[in-house]
Chains A and B, each alone.
Chain A
C-alpha cells in the first residue's frame, strides 16, 4: 500500500514520502540525477527549464530554515513557480482543517506539495487525499521519516567515499526521536552499507532497535572504532526536561564528539550532521568546523538532491 502510493504503474516516482519500499536502483537513480544538477550552481544562469510553468507549494506546518530554503531554491532552479506557506501565517491557525487547506490549494491549480508536519504520516495522508495529478514530497513528518535529508546524506557520502559496500557508518545521538536517523538507516541498508552502528544512551534508543538492521553501542569510544562515516544527531533540548537525560554537560561528556574521540574512528572518517547543530552539546566546535566535517557540503547537496526528486516526481505520470 505504502509502496504503491509512492510509485506509479510504471514503477516511477510519483510521491516521495519515505525511503521504505524503494529499491536500490531507484535510490541510485536519484543520486545519479542529482549528480548532474550539482554543476548548475556554477552557470551564469542558475536554472534549467525542466519544471517551467509548474507550481510547487511548500507547506510547512513546522519550522525549518535549511529544508525549506533548499526546497525553495531547488524548485526555482528547475524554473518552477514556488510558494512557501508556513503555519503561523496560514488559516489552519484559524481552525481550517488540513484537508480544507489542501482542497483550497488544489483549487489554485498547484502541481506539487512539499510537506513538513509534526504528525507522523501527514505527508502520506495528503498524498492519499489529494488530486491524482499532484505529487507530494515529504519534508519531514513527526518522528517517522525525512527521506530527502537521508538522500542528501547518501549523496554526500557517495561523493566522498564512492561506494557503500565497505562502509561502516555510525549514527550517534537521539535515535528514538529522530526521523532523520530512521530514513538514513533505511537508505544505508538498501544501498548496501557494510555496517550501521547506532550509538546512544538506552533512553534515546527505540525498543528492538536491532530489528532496523543496525548494531548497537552505548559507548562512544568503543563504538567509533573502524568507522568511516560519523553522523551526529541534534539533541533536542526538550529531551532534557522529559528526564530522558541528566544534563547537557553530562551528555556531552559521554556522547559529544570531540577531536580526541574522533581520532578513534578511521583517519579519513567524515563527520556529518543534519543541522541545526548544538555546539558543545552533541558536537564540539572544533569538530564541526574541522577538516573532517562535511556539514556545509550536506547543505549544498540538499539543493541538487531535492531538484532530482522534484524533477522525477513531476515527469509524466503513466496512463491515468
Chain B
C-alpha cells in the first residue's frame, strides 16, 4: 500500500483533477523542506511545470522554537519575489499534526497574499492537532499506536513504516 511510485501516481492524478476543477492555469509549486521538496520535485516534473519550484524552510516559523531552538541546518526559503495573487500548490510528504502546514502558511503569507493555496501531500495519516486538512493525498491511512512514517531520498525515494522500537 505504501509503494512510492503508486502513491506518486495517485497524487499526480488527484492534483491534475484539482488543477482542472479550479482552473489553475499557472500554479506555483512549493515544497516544504526536506521531504516535501522531494515530492514536489516529482510533481513539478510530472505536471511539466516550467517555473522553478519554490522551496520553503519553516524553521523560523515552527511553534516549538522555545523547546528545540534554531535548527543550524536551516536554509533560506526560495520563493519568487511576487506571490501576490498567485495560485499555490503547497506540497509536503506526510500530513500528521498539521503544525508544519500552519507554519508554512504563515511563512507564505509573509511573502505576500496568494489567491489560493492547495495542499497536496503524499501520505495523510491520523493524529491531526489543528483544524487543517489536505486537499489531496496519495493515500490516507490510520497507523497503529507507536507507528510512524519516514521518507528517505531524494534518490531513491522510499517510504518506511517504523514502529517506535525500530526508531529507538
A50: CB under 8 A from chain B?
Answer: yes
Question: What residue of chain B has the Cβ atom nearest to residue A29's Cβ?
Answer: B72
How many pairs of A and B residues are in contact by the CB < 8 Å rule? 52
Return the contact of A315 from the options B69, B75, B84 (Cβ within 8 A): B69
B68: CB under 8 A from chain A?
Answer: yes
A38–B74 alpha-carbon span in the complex (Å): 12
Band of interface residues on B = 20 to 34
Return the contact of B69 from the options A39, A44, A45, A312 (Cβ within 8 A): A312
A311: CB under 8 A from chain B?
Answer: yes
B52: CB under 8 A from chain A?
Answer: no
Interface string of A33-59 (1 = CB under 8 A from B): 101101100111101111000000000
Instruction: Give the one of A33, A36, A39, A316 with max B CB within 10 A.
Output: A36
A268: CB under 8 A from chain B?
Answer: no
B140: CB under 8 A from chain A?
Answer: no
A32 near B76: Cβ-Cβ < 8 Å: no
A38 near B110: Cβ-Cβ < 8 Å: no
Question: What residue of chain A has the Cβ atom nearest to residue B60's Cβ?
Answer: A48
Could you tell me which A residues sit within 8 Å of B by CB distance? 12, 29, 32-33, 35-36, 38-39, 42-45, 47-50, 308, 311-312, 315-316
Q: Could you name 26 residue pairs across A and B whose Cβ atoms are closer than 8 Å?
A: A29-B72, A32-B73, A32-B74, A33-B72, A33-B74, A35-B76, A36-B57, A36-B74, A36-B75, A38-B76, A39-B76, A43-B111, A44-B84, A44-B112, A45-B109, A45-B110, A48-B61, A49-B60, A50-B70, A311-B70, A312-B69, A312-B70, A315-B66, A315-B69, A315-B70, A316-B66
